[in-house]
Structure 1
Amino acid sequence: MARRLGEMLLAEGLITEAQLKQALTAQKKHGGKLGSHLVAMNYLTEDQLLTGISRQLGIARIDLGSVSIDQSTLNLISSDMAYKYKVIPIGREGKKGLTVAMSDPTDMIAIDDIRFRTGFDIHTLVASETAIDQALMQYYPTSDALGKLPVTTGGNVEVIVQDPLSDTSAGGHAPDDPPAATLLNSVILDAILKGASAIHIEPFERKIRIRFRIDGVLHEEASPPIRMRTEIQSRLENLFKFDRAARRQPKISQISATINDHPVRMMAQIYPTLYGDKILIKIWNQNDLSLDISQLGLQRKAFSDLSKAISGHYGLIVFAGPHKTEKMRTYYSILNTANTEHQNVVSIEDPIEYYMEGVNQVEVNIKGALSLPTALQFLQDEDLDVIGISDLSDTAILGIATHLATRCRVYGLVGSHGTEDALTQLMNREIDIRLLAETLKCVVTQASVRKICEHCKTPTEIEEDRFVRFGIDPQKLAGRTYYVGKGCDRCYHTGYRWRQPVFEVMPVSPRIADMMIQGAPSHEIRMEAIKEGMRPIKEDALLKFARGITTLDEIAKAFS
């Protein structure tokens, strides 16, 4: 049936023979649906896939988000069958018919099996796989057709989630899995596949709300009944090895995981609220980390200034900005430039978000085993080439960092709202300001904007007065094409998917070092950097807009 779908898409002119061959090879190697591989390879969008299927087969499309399905209809198809074939029952057609939504209505094996098991004649509608996944979470949240999360003890915990479409013979679920366990499994798997950075499980008076943070925005995913609260928390406490005797107390723990071949780190936090404990699970997907600094999106001068700063034998480079995880990705990329067999690189982190082969990563403050100051004191006598410090907010830590920066490169993070704020924090500490000015080589301030979704990107017109409000001369951008995302299943109908970092890279020139020693205000120091050629971060964001990466609306939101 996969070949039949491929032939249909070829007939529509949506893919080439070579693309079909590559997708079929990927399907043979990894399993799954042909259409999913074609979309994942960016050979066509999900919308194009559905349009091609609909036109070739004469099958109508359905927006699952706009329909409400009653429980009597859902009961016609079991949860295991719904997950196995990715099918959602929509409604009865007379006495003998049943209308269902499928992502691949060419799958006659699935249709025949559904017909045999239900006793109904099956009428199909086509829906996106993303929409069906969301509907499965909504309508079959306690399905036992999902894989397990078996946990091994000792060292780093390994978590393996089997494919939710796999059967028991392939190493999938056990038939007696409790509903809460399978719900939590499916939630974690779904979050990984959708690129979520966090899962929020929140108890209220009559329900539990499950939300994913995707591209910085929270989206509600499921609302299981409140009776499952205790079971869900019990399963999570077992998974993360929490002390279950400590009730109604804040707790934190983390595990390493391999989920459907995705290496991830997960950190769970539990704290009491009015109707029970809230659960927050932070996710760091190793596959999301790019260690190539040329892929960060730095403009030419910013890239040159940063490269010069990290090429020296000593000095302090500070990474500033409001969001730690975004800064950490840049931090890891910069660390990786020194990750060679001839250099001794140590990174002190709280917590370790991504593993780096070849870097000596030290985790601090996990259950109080090792503090950051203690780790730094211990390392002062080591012959270091590069040391990374994930938090410079403490005066004592900054003091040690500046002394270390006289003999090796030191990369450190500061939580701030911009370059001025970062400079104020650094200069207002009770440390040797002259030593700080002499060792500080560069301040890299980072924020991010959401990227226009590539699957629903469309040209748009922008009125000239909008350019003027952003300080842009419309004539300088004449002839350019501007884009917005019209919204689709792949981007939760927001028009945005994934995030793009934007930067302000301030090299510390002799003039700026003198201003620091003289106690000049941070805003004057930043203005001097701009005079010397530094591009302000908002201008960097506007360049991303001019290149069709983001929108003016998103920039206005990010820098309001």
Structure 2
Amino acid sequence: MAYKRLGDLLIDAGLISNDQLDLALSHQKGSNRRLGEVLIDEGIITEAQLIEALQMQLGIEFIDLSQYDIDPEMSRVISKNVARTYSVVPVKATPEEVFLAMSDPLNFLAIEAVKTASRKRVVPMVATNDAIQRAIMTLYGNEGAARAIEEMKREVKTSDEATTFTSSTLGDDADAQSAPTVRLVNSIIERAATERASDIHLEPREADMHVRMRIDGIMRTILTVPKELQQSVIARLKIMGTMNTSERRIPQDGRANVRIKKQDIDLRISTLPTIHGETVVIRLLDKDEKLLEAEGIGLAGGDLEKYRTLINASNGMVLIVGPTGSGKSSTMYTMIRELNTDAVNLVTLEDPVEYNIDGVNQVQINEKVGMTFAEGLRAVLRQDPDIVAVGEIRDGETAEIAMRSAITGHLVLSTVHTYDAASTIDRLIDIGVEPYLIASGVRGIVSQRLVRCVCPHCREAYTPDEEDLAMLGLSPDPSIKFYRGTGCPMCFNTGYRGRTGVFEILMLDRDLRSRITGGATREALQDAIEATGKYQNMQHGLQRLVLGGTTTVEEARKTMTALE
């Protein structure tokens, strides 16, 4: 293979200009990132364009790892540490050669490292970075967990090592030297992060302990742990969360922070006694800044403009509404991150505090000692705040204090468990808030849901029928294409990978405020909302996502049915 710089190769392919290369190289300095990664992150090229250029210019074969079963014996060719350090995975091997899947086949340091480790000639193959990370986790993660379980079985009768570890960094060089309990727990957490799971469930059964993960909102069984090892694993997690390892009769809560692939992830750990032992649920909170950006949570077009208008106001209340699991907390933290500057005093009241954000005064609610949302809000208002974020409005007292704060010059953010804008106003009136306070205080209501995204690895286009088009308010048109996933190993054969938000944002105008003050019914408010002309309901957002190939018509139908 000819030794040619990636930048020159992409210029020859006509994908980038010299100016774009200079810009990318300036951003690359001091970042320890590969040039291809910088070009993709900056939006100069796509990963697909990079792969195509490498194929055409260098004659390197592309391999779709989602369609390829790697022999478990490949884990013996190179170590997990080498594979993860250089983002490579061995695909197949002969006595003289090892075929190596790489996202950057011009990474000659990686090629030399694998050549030294395997003592074979390296044949580079190009694959997507996501596919490589998934393959590494599948090839080495399952093997590592199985080996750790076997070692734990041998040691469980003579050792109680689960109570002696404090490491909170996963996947480093020391991991291989750690005790088997540590390696097993690390492997489970790392697998969850790779699969982008929101929660890990460790559930004791009569004969064993099941490890399940909530991936894209769906629970999936990942592995089982023998019954005799159950307590060691739970004890390790309790130590990570600084909980009492000897107390098994009452629920406990803890927090931990781990670093996986140079990314910090917060863990919220909860235990609950059951008849077969303690069940443990771990919530994973990724601190990736890109995930907590307006575009990252799915806002676009007119919704994005309305969002900007709401959070840039100097006063008033912005309510984020939706059922449990609709992404309200992510939207609120996105707002908090954007509003968090040295020019303002931003205070939050949360139960519990999920993300720790530097520069924000975050207050933990503790009702056992009288620190309720209402009492906390009263105290916060004496702290000269510019912006107040109230985790949830649960009662009339909190709602009324928050409304009066919004009227008197503060920007207030909060969430309410309702289904749409009109029912939010009804709910506030039901819990005792005067209509004139709602009309004066509320500036806008963000209603949202989460929908699953089509898996990019098995996505295909098809022509929808008239019923599907009508459901989205579209006229019959043979040129319209919808998209769906056929199912592949990358998405557990579901056709979906990842989730995004779909929104409807209501901006209160003079007419709506007047109707609220006058005591209009929910139906009258809904009619007035739809008559504003500026309001776009959730069907419009779902239509955009389906036509753009982001989600499927089945996901759209499910969301529309839930709104009825």
Q: Matches of 1:435 and 1:125 in 2, distance apart?
A: 64
Q: Structure 1, residues 280-313: CA drift from partner, whole Å, max 9, x if none?
A: 1111111155555466544554444444444444
What is the TM-score normalised by the length of structure 1?
A: 0.76
What is the TM-score normalised by the length of structure 2?
A: 0.76
Structure 2 equivalent of residue 406 of structure 1: 407
Q: CA deviation at 1:85?
A: 4.9
Q: Structure 1, residues 425-470: CA drift from partner, whole Å, max 9, x if none?
A: 2120123232222212211101122223334433322223321244
Q: Would you say the 8 A contact 1:203–1:276 is kept in 2?
A: yes
Name the CA shift for 1:482/1:114 in 2 (closer, same or farther; >3 Å).
Answer: same
* DSSP-derived class of the 1:417 partner: coil
Structure 2 equivalent of residue 437 of structure 1: 439
Partner residue of 1:450 out of 449, 452, 468: 452
Are 1:141 and 2:125 matched, yes or no?
no
Structure 1, 521-530 or 288-297: larger mean CA deviation? 288-297
Q: CA deviation at 1:331?
A: 1.8
Q: Would you say the 8 A contact 1:296–1:330 is kept in 2?
A: yes
Q: CA deviation at 1:506?
A: 1.5
* DSSP-derived class of the 2:353 partner: coil
Q: Matches of 1:441 and 1:26 in 2, distance apart?
A: 42
* DSSP-derived class of the 1:213 partner: strand
Q: CA deviation at 1:536?
A: 1.1
Are 1:474 and 2:466 matched, yes or no?
no
Structure 2 equivalent of residue 527 of structure 1: 527
Name the CA shift for 1:491/1:101 in 2 (closer, same or farther; >3 Å).
Answer: farther
Are 1:342 and 2:350 matched, yes or no?
no
Q: Would you say the 8 A contact 1:458–1:483 is kept in 2?
A: yes
Q: Which runs of 5+ in 2 are unaligned?
A: 150-165
Structure 2 equivalent of residue 153 of structure 1: none
* DSSP-derived class of the 1:423 partner: helix
Name the CA shift for 1:20/1:137 in 2 (closer, same or farther; >3 Å).
Answer: farther
Structure 1 equivalent of residue 195 of structure 2: 194
Q: Matches of 2:230 and 2:214 in 1, distance apart?
A: 21
Q: Matches of 1:14 and 1:212 in 2, distance apart?
A: 44
Q: CA deviation at 1:414?
A: 0.7
Q: Matches of 1:113 and 1:317 in 2, distance apart?
A: 57
Letter of the 1:219 counterpart: R
Q: CA deviation at 1:38?
A: 9.8
* DSSP-derived class of the 1:358 partner: coil
Aligned residues: 523
Q: Would you say the 8 A contact 2:91–2:100 is kept in 1?
A: no
Q: CA deviation at 1:36?
A: 9.4
Structure 1 equivalent of residue 392 of structure 2: 391
Name the CA shift for 1:139/1:306 in 2 (closer, same or farther; >3 Å).
Answer: closer
Letter of the 2:439 counterpart: A
Q: Matches of 2:80 and 2:341 in 1, distance apart?
A: 50
Q: Would you say the 8 A contact 2:200–2:281 is kept in 1?
A: yes
Q: CA deviation at 1:190?
A: 2.8
* DSSP-derived class of the 1:381 partner: coil
Q: Matches of 2:556 and 2:359 in 1, distance apart?
A: 37
Q: Structure 1, residues 44-97: CA drift from partner, whole Å, max 9, x if none?
A: 469979x969x978999887887997xxx79x959x94665589999999xxx8
Q: Matches of 2:286 and 2:101 in 1, distance apart?
A: 27
Q: Would you say the 8 A contact 2:292–2:337 is kept in 1?
A: yes
Structure 2 equivalent of residue 149 of structure 1: none
What does residue range 78-97 of structure 1 map to in structure 2 within 5 Å? 81=79, 84-85=82-83
Structure 1, 343-352 or 225-234: larger mean CA deviation? 343-352
Q: Matches of 1:292 and 1:313 in 2, distance apart?
A: 20
Q: CA deviation at 1:555?
A: 1.0
Q: Which runs of 5+ in 1 are unaligned?
A: 146-157
Structure 2 equivalent of residue 320 of structure 1: 321
Q: Would you say the 8 A contact 1:180–1:232 is kept in 2?
A: yes
What does residue range 105-504 of structure 1 map to in structure 2 within 5 Å? 110=114, 113=117, 129=132, 130-143=134-147, 160-162=168-170, 164=171, 166-167=172-173, 172-173=174-175, 175=177, 177-290=178-291, 292-293=293-294, 297-298=298-299, 300-323=301-324, 326-365=327-366, 370-407=371-408, 408-475=410-477, 479-504=479-504
Identity of aligned residues (%): 23
* DSSP-derived class of the 1:341 partner: coil
Structure 1, 334-343 or 532-541: larger mean CA deviation? 334-343
Structure 1 equivalent of residue 158 of structure 2: none
Q: Would you say the 8 A contact 1:137–1:221 is kept in 2?
A: no
* DSSP-derived class of the 2:193 partner: helix
Q: Matches of 2:189 and 2:61 in 1, distance apart?
A: 36
Q: CA deviation at 1:538?
A: 2.1
Q: Matches of 2:184 and 2:304 in 1, distance apart?
A: 45
Name the CA shift for 1:413/1:60 in 2 (closer, same or farther; >3 Å).
Answer: closer
Q: Would you say the 8 A contact 1:427–1:516 is kept in 2?
A: no
